[in-house]
Amino acid sequence: MKFRVSRDALLKPLNLVAGVVERRQTLPVLSNVLLNLDGDRLSITGTDLEVELVGRVNLESEGDAGEITLPARKLADICKSLPDGADLEISVSDGKATVRSGRSRFTLATLPAREFPNIEDSIGTHQFTLKQGQLRRLIERTGFAMAQQDVRYYLNGMYWELRAGRLRAVATDGHRLAICTFPGTLKDLEDTQVILPRKGVLELSRLMQNDDEDVTIILGSNHLRATTTEFTFTSKLVDGKFPDYERVLPRAADKIVQSSRTELRQAFTRTAILSNEKYRGVRLKLSNGSLEIVANNPEQEQAEENLPVNYSGDSLEIGFNVGYLLDVLGVLSGDEIRFSLSDPNSSALLEETDGGDSLYVVMPMRL
Amino acid sequence: MVSGCLPDALELSSIVSMSHDTPPSTRKIIHVDMDAFYASVEQRDDPALRGKPLAVGGSAKRGVVAAASYEARKFGVKSAMPGVTARRRCPQLLFVKPRFDVYRSVSRQLHEIFARYTDLIEPLSLDEAYLDVTADTAGMGSATAIAEAIRRDIRDELCLTASAGVSYNKFIAKVASDQNKPDGVFVVRPGEGADFVAALPARRFYGVGPRTAERMSTLGIHSGADIRAQSLHFLEQHFGKSAQYLYRASRGEDYRPVRPDRQRKSIGGERTYAEDLLLDEDLRKALEHIIDIVWERIDRHRSLGRTVTLKVKYADFQQITRARSVSPPVETRADFERLSRELLEALLPVPKGVRLLGLTLSGLEAPQAAGSLNPGVVAEPSPVQESLAF
């Protein structure tokens, strides 16, 4: 194998791919990237056996076809530290790879391409395309609510539901729940649902860099594949049953508060300082036209905020983990939010008032 | 012995804080130190091991020698040495697995012997203790006689040998116990302390490890006498917090009392793995195992602590610790688990293999017995986070 490539064309896909592989090294070959050259098309593959990322580069001229694996981190570091605009020539012979650029020359160890594991693929059953920015929004608006290492393993990921042409992302850790719905309709698709593992979710959102460009998603029974012009990402799916999230959406909320999102967020941020750092509890006291937020800690310190809000109705006192509220207020973007409550033991609903695409359920804390 | 190293290191803070105290009247302190303790117990219990070079521990892939018999020490085998190094130095070296429950029970017998002669016993490890025998409650006449009586009891009843240092403070007693090791006694009387200390290599002072010793050496300080020749100001400039202690110790002064009520400062545990751990899942699994071990200890001591520290040693021996403190202190296993896991999660994925994981709970508070709350203060129930009803 032998080819020439400009540093700038190679660097970005190589970095993305190296990001997948560099972290785990159960098998020596897993710390390598697979380079495959066919004419002027170079593909770079990295995997950790759970996710796989293939980056593609179009070369300016055809090279000698072939495939080989090279140490990912070292190759990426070499590429990164060469000057802008540099050209690289990569050639392989006798089990060694040589990288030449200007007056630099590097000889790297290789492992044969046949040792490189192929993530086992299932047949795709559903395919749809949306903008990268749209997919990123679905992930960003819900990802924070995914569980981490919960014994209910199906919560350690993100639920994607396709129903009547509508795509919805849901995440929950059992205490709070986040839902974001893609506003468009995906035509001619049967209903289905998958759980994407936490890691796959985080990797995927990292790849959604060009908001206005397309990403095509293919769902299979065991795998999800996302393809753009630049890369193909594959992740295993979590085999499990996601809880019926609609059951926990509050139905009987009768106390509807509207407030400026930024004011509310700032008030919570300040009161959080003096909340118990273990439980992070804050007390909300709601009355006509005002919301009082109080936090105490074991050192007997206290924070109080009094916020004018749009509310009329019975008074209510209810506790929350302030971290859960701040997570929600951190991803919402509208000017005004709606906070729907019923009683101190029932869940609260948070959403943007201007018909946003996201819904958040937060369970209270008995203080 | 490996386990003996830890208390010394921890003690520095108490040395520094005690050094301002006024001198007490002349005391009589004995430092008793068992000879090659683990190895001697093994040789006592298995005649086939007697007279042979023996290492306790260290046979596993990454094992470390916990104790070496005197026969093994002739070959340069030392405690804390990797098993492979030990084997290289002494190919016929025999390895046995440590039996800590046996050592603990011997240690209890040892404590019973000490208790015949004094109540003021400060254990440093399973096989080492300071005794304050100033009061001579057994009417033995002299501290030297007590030290000999203790050594005789140990020999007759436990079939083991011990060495003892007898002096007027802890520092000198401890150094003295090493002087005629094994199976020997060394006495440093009040008038002889300064000369004894002056002749010591600087390395023998508490808190002077290889690094400090090297720094001292470049400053021309090699012996106790050299330390003594420095002004307090000079010592403070070069050795910071240890200065006060070095200044006093080099004059043969050490006023730290023998403290039988020594409080534990931390509870912890760690494991070195035969193979480096690379996968997040394996690290998580390993952490759960350590949580089990350490929580069992915390539970047994009924301790509450505010700080959980995670220690990680990578395959290249780079070691990092990550700690989190909470208020109120960690009370339940769930809290301990959560904090431990959070500390680990923050390090995942690991950049390289992990050879050792450890957890420590520190900032210990005296455990509070149920129902002993201050009158008038009503304990508030902990907040309860409600869950979604799927």
**Tens digits of per-residue pLDDT, A294-303?**
999 888 899 9
Cβ contact, residue pair B388, A321, below 8 Å: no
Catalytic residues of B: 128
Residues of chain A contacting B374 with CB distance shorter than 8 Å: none
Task: Please state which of the ranges A58-67, B8-17, B262-271 shows the lowest mean pLDDT.
Answer: B8-17
Provide the pLDDT for residue B374.
36
| B284 and A CB contact within 8 Å | yes
Residues of chain A contacting B384 with CB distance shorter than 8 Å: 365-366
Cβ contact, residue pair A363, B385, below 8 Å: yes
Task: Tell me what percent of the residues of chain A surpass a pLDDT of 70.
Answer: 99
Provide the pLDDT for residue B26.
85
Region B336-345 average pLDDT: 92
Cβ contact, residue pair B353, A321, below 8 Å: no
Q: Alpha-carbon dihedral of residues B323, B325, B331, B335, nearest 10 degrees? A: -60
Average pLDDT, chain B: 84
Q: Are the C-beta atoms of B67 and B79 separated by less than 8 Å?
A: yes
* CA distances to B214, B280, B285, B293 from B288, in Å: 41, 12, 5, 9
Task: Give the CA radius of gyration of chain A.
Answer: 25
**Tens digits of per-residue pLDDT, B243-271?**
888 898 999 988 888 887 656 678 888 88
Q: Are the C-beta atoms of B30 and B173 separated by less than 8 Å?
A: yes
Q: What is the ipTM of this complex?
A: 0.81
CB within 8 Å of B292: residues ≥ 6 apart: none
Residue A210 half-sphere exposure toward CB, CA atoms < 13 A: 9
Provide the pLDDT for residue A50.
87
Give the 3-state secondary structure of residue B86: helix
- Residue A46 is encoded by which pair of tokens? 């990295």
Kind and range of the H or E run holding B287: helix B280-301
Q: Predicted confidence band at B1 (pLDDT cuts at 50, 70, 90)?
A: very low
Q: Predicted confidence band at A355 (pLDDT cuts at 50, 70, 90)?
A: confident
Cβ contact, residue pair B388, A174, below 8 Å: yes
Give the 3-state secondary structure of residue B100: helix
| A144 and B CB contact within 8 Å | no
Q: Are the C-beta atoms of A252 and A347 separated by less than 8 Å?
A: no
Q: Which chain A residues in 239-258 lie under 8 Å from chain B, judged by CB atoms? A: 243-245, 247-248
Q: Predicted confidence band at A54 (pLDDT cuts at 50, 70, 90)?
A: very high
**Tens digits of per-residue pLDDT, B46-95?**
888 989 999 998 777 778 888 899 999 999 998 888 888 898 999 999 99
Does the structure show a pLDDT above 80 at B306? yes
- Residue B191 is encoded by which pair of tokens? 């008038």
Q: Predicted confidence band at A25 (pLDDT cuts at 50, 70, 90)?
A: low
This prediction's pTM: 0.53
On the question of a cis peptide bond just before residue B328, with omega within 30 degrees of 0, the verdict is yes
Provide the pLDDT for residue B100.
84
Average pLDDT, chain A: 93
Region A94-121 average pLDDT: 92
**Tens digits of per-residue pLDDT, B91-145?**
999 999 888 888 988 998 999 999 999 989 998 888 999 999 998 888 888 999 9
